[in-house]
Amino acid sequence: MPTLASLSDSDSPLARAATLVRQYAHFRDQALLLALLDYAPNQVAQDNVARKITQASESYRAHGDTRCLTHVADFFWRNVILPIRVTGGQTPEPRSRLSHSGLASADYVRSPAEAEAINDLKSVTETASARDRHRCVVSGKLDPESIANGSSEFSLPHCGLEVTRAAHIIPFSLRDSSEAASGHLPSIWSALECFSGVELGTLMHGGINSLDNIITLSATVHRYFTELQIALEPVPDAPHTYAVRTWGRVAPRLGLPKTVKLASATPGAALPNPAYLALHCAVCRVLWASARAEELEDVLDDLEEVALLAADGSSANLINIAIYRSLAFSRAET
């Protein structure tokens, strides 16, 4: 797949879009738009982003709309980066783990539909854990509960023990249901499909708990995976082999392997979908190349305080709050 550096002298749509960004985009938006072009996970996705930039630039030349490219940057920032980051750590635990943790399910679940969705997770998380040998697929650490329950048929790994969690690659909280639906949800899924370059309709409409959207991670890796500081990038021409990418101050110091190869311990069990992992990795890359990572952390810090005052703590409401807080940050800088 071409990169901006390799196309600097080309007349390709990608190179033309990059030139338009440098000519017409506000300085605050240039890094984000160029990162979207450079790190879109496949050729289709790159073409999608380039098309949006080109169309917006035509509006600038025709109507003098100086914010045309800002609208494109905002479309991806508020419908891809923010929702993935805000909702990424909100995969709920099935009732069995809720009881072990001492949490009362009545306090944790806010609606019958949410209760049903969480209960559906029990089977798929158990299947994913068995598929992944009850280990974090990145660090290799074994979940000690598998030993206590006598379910582990594998020897203790040299890398040690740590409690694992099931993580949704595309966040569980973006599922489409009457209770979870947000006014922004259609725009979020539209932007995700645009930037991923693949069809995501099955995930949006009831498939969010599909086994290929679930990955087993240690508690530590889970935290930084959902905070967009750890990602698995598919290695070309090497099925189910991934380069481990890290960003930030902590994740690069965790001593994680440079590459991992995923394999199923359960015959026929679907492995994590490479397209979903590629999308997650691309979102990480864009965030850290956009010069907005610190801004996003400021938004999230504010979000923690504002959410305490919100009438509804649902993920849809948190997305709305994050979008409005991000809007306030962008206005302050213009």
Q: Give 63: exposed, middle or buried? Use CB within 10 Å, 0-12, 13-18, 19+.
A: exposed
Per-residue model confidence (pLDDT) at position 240: 96
Beta bridge partners of 246: 230
Q: Tokens 């080109």 identify what position?
A: 54
Q: Residue 304: exposed, middle, or buried by beta-carbon count in 10 A (0-12, 13-18, 19+)?
A: exposed
Distance CA(124)–CA(211), nearest Å, equals 6
Q: Is residue 195 packed enough to be buried (19+ CB in 10 Å), middle (13-18) or exposed (0-12)?
A: buried
Give the long-range contacts of residues 200-204, CB within 8 A, separation 24 or more.
200/170, 203/170, 204/174, 204/175, 204/176
Per-residue pLDDT of the chain (334 residues; tens, 9 = 90+): 666 665 555 678 999 999 999 998 999 899 999 999 999 999 999 999 999 999 998 877 776 666 899 999 999 998 999 889 887 766 666 544 443 433 334 344 555 556 666 677 888 999 999 999 999 999 999 999 887 766 555 566 677 899 999 999 999 888 865 444 456 788 899 999 999 999 998 888 778 899 999 999 999 999 999 999 999 999 999 999 999 999 999 999 999 999 999 999 999 999 999 999 999 999 999 999 998 888 888 777 766 655 544 444 455 565 665 665 565 555 455 5
Q: How far apart are CA 232 and CA 247, in angstroms?
A: 12
101 vs 93: CA distance, rounded Å = 10
- The pLDDT tens digits for 117-147 are 667 788 899 999 999 999 999 999 999 988 7
Give residues with Cβ within 8 angstroms of 87, minimum separation 6.
171, 172, 173, 174, 315, 318, 319
Give the pLDDT score at 294. 84
Number of Cβ within a 10 Å radius of residue 185:
19
Task: Spell out the residues 6+ positions from residue 268 whose beta carbon is closer than 8 angstroms to its own.
Answer: none
176 close to 205: Cβ distance less than 8 angstroms: yes
pLDDT at site 167: 93
